[in-house]
Amino acid sequence: MVKTGLEGRNGVGKTTLLKLITGELEPRSGLVTVKGRLGILRQTLQPHPGETIADLFGVVDALAILRRAELGEATDDDLNIADWTLESRIRAALDRLDLHVSAETLLQTLSGGQRTRAGLAALVFAEPDFLLLDEPTNNLDRNGRQTVIDLLAGWKSGAVVVSHDRELLDTMESIVELTTLGATRYGGNWTTYRELKAQELAAAERYLADAEKRIADAARVAQERTERQNRKNSAGRRDGKSGGTPRIILGGRKDRAEDTTGGNARLAEHQHEQAMQAASEARERIEVLQPFTVKLPPTGLPLGKRVLEVVKATAGYRPKQPVIRDLSLTLTGPERVAVIGPNGTGKTTFLSLITGKLHPWSGTVEMSTPFALLDQQVSVLDPSASIRDNFRRINPQADEQTCRSALAKFMFRADAALQTVSTLSGGQVLRAGLACVLGVAPPPLLILDEPTNHLDIDSIEAVEAGLRAFDGALLVVSHDETFLKAIGITRRIEL
Please report which confidence band the pLDDT of residue 371 belongs to, taking 50, 70 and 90 as the band edges: very high
Give the separation between CA 363 and CA 358, rounded to whole angstroms.
13
Residue 196 pLDDT > 70, yes or no?
A: yes
Query: Using one digit for the tens of pLDDT, what is the confidence trace for 350-359?
Result: 999 999 999 9
Q: What is the dihedral sign for C-alpha 65, 66, 71, 76?
A: positive
Please report which confidence band the pLDDT of residue 287 belongs to, taking 50, 70 and 90 as the band edges: low
pLDDT at 279: 64
The CATH number of 305-494 is: 3.40.50.300
Give the separation between CA 205 and CA 279, rounded to whole angstroms.
10
More confident residue, 79 or 261: 79
List of residues 6+ apart from 405 with CB closer than 8 A: none
Residue 3 pLDDT > 80, yes or no?
A: yes
Residue 250 pLDDT > 50, yes or no?
A: no
Which helix H or strand E contains 247, and what residues bound it? helix 247-284
pLDDT at 233: 65
Q: ∠ CA(217), CA(218), CA(223), 5° rounding?
A: 95
Q: ∠ CA(241), CA(243), CA(248), 5° rounding?
A: 100
pLDDT at 209: 77
Cα torsion 485, 488, 490, 492 to 10°: value is -40
What average pLDDT does this structure show over 340-357? 88
What average pLDDT does this structure show over 83-108? 93
Give the separation between CA 494 and CA 454, rounded to whole angstroms.
24
pLDDT at 189: 94
pLDDT at 174: 95
Query: Using one digit for the tens of pLDDT, what is the confidence trace for 159-168?
Result: 999 998 889 9
List of residues 6+ apart from 40 with CB closer than 8 A: 18, 22, 123, 131, 132, 133, 134
Please report which confidence band the pLDDT of residue 402 belongs to, taking 50, 70 and 90 as the band edges: very high
HSE at residue 486, side-chain half, CA atoms within 13 A, is 16
Give the separation between CA 27 and CA 16, rounded to whole angstroms.
10
Residue 316 pLDDT > 50, yes or no?
A: yes
Residue 62 pLDDT > 60, yes or no?
A: yes
Asked if residues 94 and 121 have their Cβ atoms less than 8 Å apart, the reply is yes
Which helix H or strand E contains 216, and what residues bound it? helix 190-242
Query: Using one digit for the tens of pLDDT, what is the confidence trace for 10-35?
Result: 778 888 898 999 999 999 999 999 98
pLDDT at 110: 87
Give the separation between CA 183 and CA 76, rounded to whole angstroms.
55
pLDDT at 428: 84
CA 353 to chain centre: 29
Q: Give phi and psi for 255, each to the nearest 5.
A: -65, -45
DSSP assigned state of 417: G
Domains of the chain, residue spans: 3-188, 197-289, 305-494
Asked if residues 338 and 484 have their Cβ atoms less than 8 Å apart, the reply is yes
pLDDT at 375: 85
More confident residue, 18 or 204: 18
Give the separation between CA 196 and CA 129, rounded to whole angstroms.
31
What average pLDDT does this structure show over 149-168? 90
Superfamily of domain 3-188: P-loop containing nucleotide triphosphate hydrolases (3.40.50.300)
Cα torsion 421, 165, 14, 134 to 10°: value is -90
pLDDT at 228: 74
Residue 52 pLDDT > 70, yes or no?
A: yes
Give the separation between CA 384 and CA 106, rounded to whole angstroms.
30
Asked if residues 180 and 12 have their Cβ atoms less than 8 Å apart, the reply is yes
Helix (H, G, I), strand (E, B) or coil at 451: coil
- In 3D, which of 199, 148, 201 has the Cα closest to residue 5? 148
pTM over 0.85: no
More confident residue, 245 or 368: 368
pLDDT at 362: 95
Please report which confidence band the pLDDT of residue 388 belongs to, taking 50, 70 and 90 as the band edges: very high
Residue 421 pLDDT > 60, yes or no?
A: yes
Q: What is the dihedral sign for C-alpha 144, 146, 147, 153?
A: positive
Percent of the chain predicted with pLDDT > 90: 47
Single-letter amino acid code for the residue at 61: D
- Give the CA distances from residue 289 to residues 5, 372, 387, in Å, rounded to whole numbers and listed in that order: 22, 29, 21
102-106, 139-143, 213-217, 462-466: range with lowest mean pLDDT: 213-217
Helix (H, G, I), strand (E, B) or coil at 407: helix
Asked if residues 344 and 111 have their Cβ atoms less than 8 Å apart, the reply is yes
Give the separation between CA 336 and CA 489, rounded to whole angstroms.
5
Sheet containing 445-449: order of strands: 371-374, 445-449, 473-477, 336-340, 491-494
Asked if residues 371 and 445 have their Cβ atoms less than 8 Å apart, the reply is yes
Average pLDDT, the chain: 85
List of residues 6+ apart from 131 with CB closer than 8 A: 38, 39, 40, 41, 123, 152, 155, 157, 158, 159, 160, 161
pLDDT at 267: 61
Give the separation between CA 178 and CA 7, rounded to whole angstroms.
6
Percent of the chain predicted with pLDDT > 70: 87
- In 3D, which of 56, 230, 22 has the Cα closest to residue 134? 22
Give the separation between CA 316 and CA 346, rounded to whole angstroms.
9
- Give 250-257 contacts, CB < 8 A, sequence gap 24+: 257/229, 257/232, 257/233
> If you compute the radius of gyration of the chain from its CA atoms, what whole number of angstroms results?
32
